[in-house]
């Protein structure tokens, strides 16, 4: 299971299911479309199989009501990025990335706009053009690639309202600050991270990272950006976390992590940074203040963690998602001093 996606009320998990009826047998490669399974989060019993025209990559809560999803691959008439209503399991709208002038990777949101990582097409199959181009650059078979960029999309009409070119190849993540002033974009193919002014599009600074950065997150006072050095595009052998000052492109510290650490999220208590490891089947928990490793959580059966979701249950047993890939939800936000103590 690649992603971790929960409905806003935490009742359901959405995971990749078998190919839809009529699809070629055995066609379960990552570049082939698949169905979406809605599963009861407590009993783990499947509730419904959804035909969404694509294979789920990442998903996150949007506006505390919907789910924003992006895909690895899709049917010709499917969508690369779409909004799903978990109450009705209907797709509310979405886009095909070739209509935006390239291929695309992962979507992020500030609950107002959708920010989509865009990649040049033509270096390989549509879904993997960006990573193949990045690998060609890293391997030296090409010396320059066409630009990669971020598209800001209005989800009410699915129109692009702004584009942000950035100085890096094969970006993997977007971090938006709480004031809506800057975004941080780590790029695997060039092992760097860019700080970009959201109003002007100006590049505030570019900093080197560890090899092939993937996920990233800000500390609670937003003076540091933590970057997971996964090794994405550069061989998938990264095992560090780089901590960088947000006011200037100076790396403050390099932390030892785990092989292919990728998703990196600040916890709802604001004191911990959690990092998932594809290569070791673990989650590393760091103390934000001291940078010490607090715990290493092993997945059952060396499972491959890819994504994190925190759920809070009240005294009546009612759940709600308060943290996932897309940010904090349900009124919890350590960046504004609202933390869940535990």
**13: Cβ contacts below 8 Å, ≥ 6 apart:** 4, 5, 6, 7, 38, 39, 40, 41, 44
pLDDT score recorded for residue 30 = 67
pLDDT mean by block of 10 residues, the chain; 342 residues: 88 89 56 87 96 93 97 91 97 96 95 97 89 96 96 97 97 97 98 98 98 98 98 95 95 93 96 94 97 95 88 95 96 95 84
Q: Distance between CA 317 and CA 330 in Å, rounded?
A: 16
Q: Which of 118, 115, 113 is nearest to 149 (CA)?
A: 118
pTM reported for the whole predicted model: 0.95
For 16-32, write each residue's pLDDT tens digit: 988 866 655 544 466 67
Q: Distance between CA 139 and CA 48 in Å, rounded?
A: 44
Q: Which of 125, 58, 78 is nearest to 308 (CA)?
A: 58
Q: Distance between CA 275 and CA 295 in Å, rounded?
A: 11
DSSP annotation string for 107-155 = EEE-SSSEEEEEE-SSSSSGGGHHHHHHHHHHHTS-S--PPPEEEEEET
101 CB-contact burial (10 Å; exposed 0-12 / middle 13-18 / buried 19+): middle
Q: Distance between CA 224 and CA 222 in Å, rounded?
A: 5
CA distances to 106, 109, 267, 277, 330 from 339, in Å: 27, 21, 9, 25, 11
Q: Which of 116, 140, 139, 136 is nearest to 124 (CA)?
A: 136
CA distances to 50, 67, 144 from 232, in Å: 30, 26, 18
Q: Distance between CA 269 and CA 284 in Å, rounded?
A: 16
Question: What is the dihedral sign for C-alpha 163, 164, 170, 176?
Answer: negative
Q: Distance between CA 109 and CA 200 in Å, rounded?
A: 19
Q: Which of 256, 164, 171, 174 is nearest to 217 (CA)?
A: 174
Tokens at 158, concatenated:
């699915």
Taking the CA atoms of residue 217, residue 16, residue 150 and residue 212 in that order, the dihedral angle to the nearest 10 degrees is 60
């Amino acid at each position: 299971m690649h992603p971790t996606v929960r409905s806003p009320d935490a009742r359901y998990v959405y995971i990749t299911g078998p190919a839809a009826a009529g699809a070629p047998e055995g066609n379960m490669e990552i570049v082939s479309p698949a169905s979406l399974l809605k599963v009861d989060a407590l009993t783990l019993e499947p509730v419904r199989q959804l035909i969404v025209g694509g294979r789920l990559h990442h998903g996150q809560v949007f506006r505390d009501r919907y789910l924003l999803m992006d895909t690895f691959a899709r049917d010709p008439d499917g969508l690369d990025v779409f909004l799903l209503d978990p109450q009705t399991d209907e797709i509310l709208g979405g886009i095909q990335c070739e209509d935006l002038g390239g291929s695309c990777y992962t979507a992020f949101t500030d609950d107002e706009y959708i920010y989509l990582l865009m990649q040049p097409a033509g270096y390989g199959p549509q879904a993997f053009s960006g990573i193949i181009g990045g690998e060609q650059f890293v391997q030296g078979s090409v010396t320059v690639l066409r630009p990669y960029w971020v598209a800001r999309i209005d989800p009410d009409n699915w129109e692009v309202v702004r584009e942000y070119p950035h100085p890096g190849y094969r970006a993997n993540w977007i971090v938006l600050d709480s004031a809506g002033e800057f975004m941080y974009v780590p790029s695997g193919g060039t092992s760097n991270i860019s700080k970009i002014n959201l109003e002007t599009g100006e590049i505030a600074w570019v900093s080197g990272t560890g090899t092939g950065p993937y996920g990233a997150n800000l500390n609670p006072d937003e003076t540091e950006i933590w970057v997971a050095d996964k090794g994405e595009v550069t061989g998938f052998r990264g095992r560090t976390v780089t901590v960088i000052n947000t006011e200037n492109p100076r790396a403050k510290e390099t932390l030892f992590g785990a092989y292919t650490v990728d998703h990196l999220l600040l916890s709802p208590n604001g004191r911990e940074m959690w990092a998932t490891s594809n290569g070791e089947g673990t989650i590393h928990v760091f103390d934000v203040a001291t940078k010490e490793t607090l715990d290493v959580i092993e997945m059952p059966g060396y499972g491959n963690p890819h994504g994190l979701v925190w759920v809070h249950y009240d005294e009546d047993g009612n759940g709600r998602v308060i943290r996932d890939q897309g940010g904090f939800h349900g009124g919890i936000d350590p960046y504004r001093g609202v933390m869940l103590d535990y």
